[in-house]
Amino acid sequence: MNNMHFDENNTNYFKLDFADERVDGADKVTGKAKYTAEYNMSNMAYAVFVTSTIAKGTIKNIDTAKALASPGVLDVIYYANCPSVPGYIKNEWRGHKVLYDNQVRFFGQPIALIVADSLENANAAIRLVRAEYESQAFETNFDLARKDATKLKGTVAYKRGIENKFKEAPVFVEAEYAIPAEVHLPMEMHATIEFWEGEDKVTLYDKTQGPKSTQSTVARTFGLSDKNVRVIAENVGGGFGSGLRSWANVPAAVMASKKLNRPVKLVLTRPQMFTLVGYRPQSWQKIGIGADASGRFVGITHEAISGTSRYEDFREGIVNVSKFLYACDNVDTKYSMLPLDLSTPVWMRGPGEATGSYGLESAIDELSYKLKMDPIELRIKNFTTVNPENKLPFSDINLKDCYAYGKDKIGWKNRPTVPGSLKENGMLIGYGMANGVFGAGKGAATVRALLNQEGKLTLECAVSDMGPGTTTSMTKIAASAMQMPIEKVKFKLGDSDLPPGPSQGGSGTTSTVGSAVDLACTTLKQNLKDLAIKYAPAFATLKSDALEVKNEMVVALADANIKIAIVDLLQFIPDKKIDLTIASSGKTAEQLKFTSNSFSSHYVKVAVNPKDGTIKILQVVTTGDAGKIISPKTARSQMIGGVVGGIGMALTEQLEMDHQSGQIINASFGAYHVPLHSQIPPTDVWFVDKPDVNMNSIGAKGIGEIALIGFAAAVSNAVYNATGIRVRDLPITPAKLGFKAKV
Amino acid sequence: MNPCQFDDARRGFLKKSASLAVLYFTPSVLVKTFAADAIVPMPIAKEKLQFILNGKSVSFEIDARTTVLNLLREQIGYTGTKKGCEMGQCGACTIHVNGKRLKSCTQLALNHQNNQITTIEGLAKGDQLHPMQAAFLKHDAFQCGYCTSGQIMSAVACVREGKAGSRASIQAYMDTNICRCGAYQNIVDAIDEVAKSGAKI
C-alpha cells in the first residue's frame, strides 16, 4: 500500500510504552476539575430565566413589579428594558433574539431574566413575573405537517444514474423509517459566567465545545473586537453537539452583566436543557433499495425530511450515506426541512449520518431476508474501495476486517436465518449488525510549543475537551513525536486566548489539532538539531538529517556517543527556551486525492421476552476503522459511550410533545429515559488500528460519531431476527412489538 | 447523629419555616385561595447551621431555602459535588451523610444540623487517591468527568453496603447515577475490582 506520507520506522510513532490513564483523570476523580458554573467571584449576581407558557404569539405586557420588590432581586430584564445589542440589530446573532422583542416563537422561550444577589432569591422571584400574551396558531406536530408538501422548504435532490431504478430490480424493499426528536443532555448543564472589564472588554466562562467560536459570536453580537472577548471552557461536562453554538444564556448573561455592572452567573435548569440548547430533530425517511439475484445493488432511492424551527434553518445530512458507502450505479436522494414552532435543533452525536444510517442499514437488512442472503455477505458483495459519489479512492477502508472480527466475537454462526426461531431460556434470541460511516476531516489549527529550560514542553491550542480525552491524546502525540516522557509534556486548551483551534465536533479534533501538534513538534525538533550544530562542537560537522531527537537529547544517528541533552543545549541561547507557534492547514493536495472516512461495524445479540415484549441487549461487539488509535484507553471509552447512546436511541429516547399546547412534556431525566447502568450489556471494542497514511501525518481519524452511527439499526435488525417483527420507528418498545401493557 | 432525632435547634427551625413553607414549598393546589404571585416574599432571616464536613466542624449563617448542594457549591466552594438536575434524578450530587449516600440537591441544608457530611473532596488522603478513585482512573470509568463525583460516592456506598457481590447487583445499586457519556461498563469494572480486592474502604 501507499506508504509515502507516513514513515513509521523513522518517527517511531506511538511505540513508547506510556501509562495509559487520562492525563487529567486525577483531577476528575477527586472533584478538582472545574466546570463552567464552578467559578465564584466577589459581588457575583445570579440570573435565572422566566420562560414562556405559550408556543407562539406576542407578549402584550410583562408585570415585573412584584419580582422587583422581592428580596435580593436586582433587576428583571425583558424586551422593554434590555440594553442595546448591536448584533441583534444587524442580525449577526443567530437564533431568536433573547430578551429583545415581544415575540414568542416556542413554548419555554426565555421572556425575562431575573437577576438577584443569591440563587435562592432569584428562584423565588420567578413565579412573581406575570406575562400577558396574545396567542397565535402554531404547529408542532411533525407527523401531520410533513404530509403537506407545501410546508417543506430547502429541498435538495441528488441523482446518479436512473431515478427509482430499485423498482426494476428482481428483489427490492421500500420502507419508511422514523426517529423522534432526541436530546443531548450532557450531565453538565449549559452555563455562562460573565464579567466586563471596562466598556469594551468581557470575559466569559462558558460551557462551549468551541472557545474560539463563542468568542467570535460574542464579539459580533456585542460589537466588540475578538481580542477583547475571552472565553474560558477549561473542562466541559459533555456536549454531544449542544455546545457547538451559543444559545440564549450567552447574550442574556452578557447583557445582565453589562446592565448591572457586576459578574453574573446564569445556569440553565435541567428542564431548560430540553428546550434551549438544541436537540436531534424528528425525522422521516423513505428508502427503496433493490438488488439482482446475486445481491449486487441495482438502485437506492433515499428521501428524508427533518424538522427545524420557524426562525432558523437547520439541515441534516440524512441521505448522504446512501450516496457513497456501497457500490451502486443508480442513486437518487431528496432532502427537505420542515419548519415547526419549536426551538432550533442542532447537531447531536453522529448527526444526520446517524439518522440516515438507521434507515439505510435497516433497509439493507430487510433486503437480505428477501434475498435469503446473510446481511454481512450482502454488504461484502457491495463493498467498494472507491467512493462512488466523488469517484475518489477511500484513503483507507478496512470494513472487511471489522466483519471478520465482529462475526466471530458475537457468535454470528448461531444467528437464526428464520426470524423468531431461536430460543434460549424461554427468551427469543436474535442477532443483528449494521455499519456506520462519517467523514474524516483535517482542518486548520495553530499550536504554540514552549520548551523551557527544565526541558518541559507545554503545548497550547484553543480547542476544548468535552470528554473524549483530547488533552490526553494531544499529550501522547507530542510525547511520541519528541520521544520524551509523557510527564514532561503538558497540553493546555479551553481558552480563546490560546492559539486558534477548531470547535470540538464532527470527529475532527484529533486529526486537526493532532496534525498541528505533530507539525509543531517536527519544527521544534528541527530547531533543536540546528542549535546542536550551531553551538555544540561535537555536532559542528554534521547535517541535521544525520541527527535525531530522543530521550530528551539530540543524538547523531551514526554514533550514539555524539549527543547533547536538550536542557544543556538550551543554555546556549539567550532565552534558554524555545517558544514557537505553528499553523497547520487543511488537507494537502496529495491528501485531497483521496476521500477520507472513519467506519464502524456494530454487532448486537438481543433477547426478547415472548410474554411481554421487553428487550434486553445481551452482548455487543463494536468495531472501529479509524486509522491509528492514538490513545487506546480513551478511544475504547468513546466506543462504549457510543454504544450506550445507541441503546438509548434504539430503545428508550423520545422527546414527547403535547401538540395542544406546544409544550415538551417529558423534560426531565425521570420522564425522558436515557440508558442506565443495568441496561448496559458486556461490550467488546475492537479497532483496526492501522495508520491511514493518506489522511494526515499522524495517521489518525475521528471516532466520536462512528461510535454511535449505525448502532440503532444493529439493535433493530437484532430485534427483527429475534421476533420476526420489524419496527420502523424508534424507539423500539414492547407496545410497538404488539404487546399491550397489562393493566 | 441520627437525622430522624430532632434536637431543639431543628424544631425551632421547623416552627419558623412553617410559614415560609406556604410560600416556597407547598404545591399550588393548596394555596389556590390566593394567587401565588399576589404575595411578595419577605426577607429571609439567616439561620445558623453547623455540621461536620469531611471531618472538620464548620458553621454558617444561611438562607433557610439553601440546599446542601447549593451550600457546598455556591458558598463553601466545594464544587466537586455536581449539579445535574436538582430533582434527585441523576445522582451527580451524591454525597455521604452519616455514612449513607444521599442526593444533596433534594436536601435543605438546615435539616443537616450536626450531621457528618462527606463529599468527593473528603475521599483522598492528601495526594493518595481513595481506592475507588484509583480504580475509576485505572478503568477509565468516565469521559467528561461531570457525573464522576456522584458515581464514586455511590460506588463507595455500594461496596460498604455489601451490594457489590455481582455485576448485576452493582448495576442495580448504581442505577441511581446517570452517565451520559456512557462509561457504565468501566464504572462497574472499577467497583467490581475494588469489591473483590477486599480493601477496607
Instruction: Tell me the DSSP string of B168-190.
Output: HHHHHHHTTS--TT--HHHHHHH
Give residue B43's pLDDT: 80
Give residue A347's pLDDT: 98
In chain A, what residues touch B42 (CB-CB under 8 Å)? 71
Nearest residue, CB atoms, A668 vs list B87, B121, B188? B87
Q: Are A267 and B83 a contacting pair at CB < 8 A?
A: yes
Q: Are B180 and A120 a contacting pair at CB < 8 A?
A: no
Q: Are strands A130-135 and A297-309 parallel, antiparallel or unpaired?
A: unpaired
Q: Are A270 and B124 a contacting pair at CB < 8 A?
A: no
Q: Does B43 reside within a domain? A: yes
Q: Does B3 reside within a domain? A: no
> d(Cα B11, Cα B6) in Å, to the nearest integer?
6
Portion of chain A with pLDDT greater than 70, in percent: 97
* Amino acid at position A491, single letter: F
Q: Is a pLDDT exceeding 80 seen at residue B159?
A: yes
* Helix segments in A138-267, DSSP class H: 142-145, 211-221, 249-260
Same domain for A606 and A513? no
Asked if A632 is an interface residue toward chain B (Cβ–Cβ < 8 A), one would say: no
Same domain for A644 and A622? yes
Asked if B186 is an interface residue toward chain A (Cβ–Cβ < 8 A), one would say: yes
Alpha-carbon gap: B195 to the closest alpha carbon of chain A (Å): 17
Sequence-distant (≥ 6) Cβ neighbours of residue A568 within 8 angstroms: none
Domain that holds residue A683: 393-434+596-723
Asked if A42 is an interface residue toward chain B (Cβ–Cβ < 8 A), one would say: no
* Amino acid at position A650, single letter: A
Cβ A700 vs Cβ A514: under 8 Å: yes
Quote the cell numbers at residue A613. Answer: 415484549
In chain B, what residues touch A493 (CB-CB under 8 Å)? none
The CATH code of the domain that includes B112 is: 3.10.20.30
Same domain for B71 and B24? yes
Compare all CA atoms of chain A with the CA of B130 and give the residue at the minimum distance.
Answer: A30
Q: Are B87 and A634 a contacting pair at CB < 8 A?
A: no
> Which helix (H) or strand (E) segment is A29 a member of?
helix A25-29
Q: Are B89 and A669 a contacting pair at CB < 8 A?
A: yes
Alpha-carbon gap: A209 to the closest alpha carbon of chain B (Å): 12
Q: Does A570 reside within a domain? A: yes
- The one-character DSSP state at B109 is G
Return the residue matching grid coordinates 420502507: A175
**Chain B from 98 to 117: CB within 8 A of any A CB:** none
Q: Does B2 reside within a domain? A: no
Q: Is A729 helix (H, G, I), strand (E, B) or coil?
A: strand
Q: Does A99 reside within a domain? A: no
Same domain for A463 and A538? yes
Domain count, chain B: 2
> pTM higher than 0.80, yes or no?
yes
Give the end of a domain, one of A535, A555, A586. Answer: A586
> d(Cα A529, Cα A479) in Å, to the nearest integer?
17
Give residue A19's pLDDT: 66
Q: Does B172 reside within a domain? A: yes
Q: Which of B25, B40, B81, B125 to mutate to test the interface with A (most CBs of A within 10 A)?
A: B40
**Chain A from 62 to 81: CB within 8 A of any B CB:** 66, 69-71
Give residue B72's pLDDT: 98
Give residue B22's pLDDT: 38
Same domain for A523 and A488? yes
Q: Is a pLDDT exceeding 90 seen at residue B11?
A: no
| Residue A522: closest CA among A578, A481, A577 | A481
Same domain for A483 and A397? no
Compare all CA atoms of chain B with the CA of A190 and give the residue at the minimum distance.
Answer: B84
* pLDDT (tens digit per residue) in A585-625: 999 999 999 999 999 999 999 999 999 999 999 999 999 99
Cβ A206 vs Cβ B197: under 8 Å: no
Asked if B61 is an interface residue toward chain A (Cβ–Cβ < 8 A), one would say: no
Asked if A517 is an interface residue toward chain B (Cβ–Cβ < 8 A), one would say: no
Instruction: Identify the band that residue B36 occupies on the pLDDT scale cut at 50, 70 and 90.
Output: low
Same domain for A603 and A497? no
Q: Is a pLDDT exceeding 80 seen at residue B2?
A: no
Same domain for B112 and B27? yes
Domain that holds residue B160: 131-197
> d(Cα B145, Cα B133) in Å, to the nearest integer?
12
Q: Are strands A657-658 and A615-625 parallel, antiparallel or unpaired?
A: unpaired
CA dihedral A321, A325, A328, A329 (to 10 degrees): 70
**Chain B from 1 to 40: CB within 8 A of any A CB:** 23-24, 36-37, 40
Instruction: Identify the band that residue B37 occupies on the pLDDT scale cut at 50, 70 and 90.
Output: low
Q: Does A591 reside within a domain? A: no
Same domain for A481 and A539? yes
Same domain for B138 and B108? no
Sheet containing A445-451: order of strands: A489-492, A457-460, A445-451, A578-584
Q: Is A514 helix (H, G, I), strand (E, B) or coil?
A: helix
Same domain for A462 and A575? yes
> d(Cα A596, Cα A686) in Å, to the nearest integer?
20
In chain B, what residues touch A22 (CB-CB under 8 Å)? 137, 140
Q: Does B18 reside within a domain? A: yes
Detail the DSSP E strand segments found in A164-277: 171-179, 191-196, 202-206, 229-232, 264-267
Q: Is A603 left (phi over 0), alpha (psi -120 to 50) or beta?
A: beta
Alpha-carbon gap: B96 to the closest alpha carbon of chain A (Å): 15
Q: Is A129 helix (H, G, I), strand (E, B) or coil?
A: coil
Cβ A489 vs Cβ A475: under 8 Å: yes
Same domain for A647 and A715? yes
- The one-character DSSP state at A83 is P
Compute CA distances A338 → A67, A274, A332, A537, whole Å: 39, 20, 20, 72
> d(Cα A204, Cα A210) in Å, to the nearest integer?
13
Quote the cell numbers at residue A482. Answer: 519528541
Give residue B19's pLDDT: 39
Quote the cell numbers at residue A9. Answer: 520506522
A–B: how many Cβ contacts below 8 A? 201
Considering only CA atoms, give the Rg of chain B. Answer: 19
Asked if B45 is an interface residue toward chain A (Cβ–Cβ < 8 A), one would say: no
> d(Cα A168, Cα A64) in Å, to the nearest integer?
67
Instruction: Identify the band that residue B38 occupies on the pLDDT scale cut at 50, 70 and 90.
Output: low
Widest CA span in chain B: 61
In chain B, what residues touch A669 (CB-CB under 8 Å)? 85, 87, 89-90, 178
> d(Cα A344, Cα A353) in Å, to the nearest integer?
19
Return the residue matching grid coordinates 451523610: B97
Same domain for A605 and A575? no
Same domain for B110 and B39? yes
Asked if A44 is an interface residue toward chain B (Cβ–Cβ < 8 A), one would say: no
Same domain for B113 and B15? yes
* Amino acid at position B3, single letter: P
Same domain for B178 and B117? no
Same domain for B140 and B101? no
Alpha-carbon gap: A581 to the closest alpha carbon of chain B (Å): 28
Compare all CA atoms of chain B with the CA of A27 and give the residue at the minimum distance.
Answer: B145
Q: Are B24 and A31 a contacting pair at CB < 8 A?
A: no
Q: Does B153 reside within a domain? A: yes
Same domain for A553 and A468? yes
| Residue A709: closest CA among A667, A666, A650, A656 | A650
Nearest residue, CB atoms, B144 vs list A29, A467, A645? A467
Return the residue matching grid coordinates 463553601: B76
Q: Is A267 helix (H, G, I), strand (E, B) or coil?
A: strand
Q: Which of B146, B153, B163, B178 to mutate to test the interface with A (most CBs of A within 10 A)?
A: B146
Question: How many other CB atoms are found less than 10 A from the CB of residue A537?
Answer: 7
Alpha-carbon gap: B11 to the closest alpha carbon of chain A (Å): 22
Considering only CA atoms, give the Rg of chain A. Answer: 28
Alpha-carbon gap: A30 to the closest alpha carbon of chain B (Å): 6
Give residue B41's pLDDT: 79
DSSP string, A316-349: --TTTHHHHSS--S-EEEEEEEEEESSPPP---S
Burial class for B2, CB neighbours closer than 10 Å (0-12, 13-18, 19+): exposed
Q: Does A657 reside within a domain? A: yes
Compute CA distances A227 → A203, A223, B115, whole Å: 11, 12, 49
Q: Does A692 reside within a domain? A: yes
Q: Are B178 and A676 a contacting pair at CB < 8 A?
A: yes
> d(Cα B121, Cα B126) in Å, to the nearest integer?
10
Asked if A132 is an interface residue toward chain B (Cβ–Cβ < 8 A), one would say: no
Same domain for B111 and B25? yes
Phi, psi of A413 (to 5 degrees): -65, -20
Same domain for B109 and B139? no
> d(Cα A128, Cα A113) in Å, to the nearest integer?
12
Cβ A60 vs Cβ A136: under 8 Å: no
Q: Are B90 and A26 a contacting pair at CB < 8 A?
A: no
Give the end of a domain, one of A586, A610, A625. Answer: A586
Peptide bond into A731 cis (omega under 30): yes
In chain B, what residues touch A237 (CB-CB under 8 Å)? 82, 144-146
Return the residue matching grid coordinates 428583571: A76
Q: Is a pLDDT exceeding 90 seen at residue B17?
A: no
Same domain for B118 and B174? no
Asked if A128 is an interface residue toward chain B (Cβ–Cβ < 8 A), one would say: yes
In chain A, what residues touch B92 (CB-CB under 8 Å)? 187
Q: Does A623 reside within a domain? A: yes
* pLDDT (tens digit per residue) in A55-114: 999 999 999 999 999 999 999 999 999 999 999 988 888 888 999 999 999 999 999 999
Domain count, chain A: 2
Nearest residue, CB atoms, B182 vs list A34, A130, A641? A641
Give the end of a domain, one of B94, B122, B150. Answer: B122
Q: Does A278 reside within a domain? A: no
Q: Are A270 and B84 a contacting pair at CB < 8 A?
A: yes
Give residue A95's pLDDT: 87
Low-confidence ranges of chain A (pLDDT < 50): 1-17
Q: Are A187 and B180 a contacting pair at CB < 8 A?
A: yes
Q: Are A30 and B129 a contacting pair at CB < 8 A?
A: yes
Give the end of a domain, one of A560, A586, A612. Answer: A586
Q: Does B79 reside within a domain? A: yes
The ipTM, to two decimals, is: 0.96
Q: Is B71 left (phi over 0), alpha (psi -120 to 50) or beta?
A: alpha
* pLDDT (tens digit per residue) in A231-276: 999 999 999 999 999 999 999 999 999 999 999 999 999 999 999 9
Cβ A422 vs Cβ A565: under 8 Å: no
Q: Is B3 helix (H, G, I), strand (E, B) or coil?
A: coil
Nearest residue, CB atoms, A641 vs list B44, B136, B183? B183
Asked if A191 is an interface residue toward chain B (Cβ–Cβ < 8 A), one would say: no
Same domain for A662 and A626? yes
> d(Cα B151, Cα B180) in Å, to the nearest integer?
12
Give residue A6's pLDDT: 36
Q: Does A147 reside within a domain? A: no
Give residue A91's pLDDT: 85
Same domain for B107 and B135? no
The CATH code of the domain that includes A507 is: 3.30.365.10
Asked if B41 is an interface residue toward chain A (Cβ–Cβ < 8 A), one would say: yes
Asked if B199 is an interface residue toward chain A (Cβ–Cβ < 8 A), one would say: no
Q: Are A677 and B184 a contacting pair at CB < 8 A?
A: yes
Q: Is a pLDDT exceeding 50 seen at residue B21?
A: no
The CATH code of the domain that includes B176 is: 1.10.150.120
Q: Which of B142, B154, B185, B188 to mutate to test the interface with A (most CBs of A within 10 A)?
A: B185
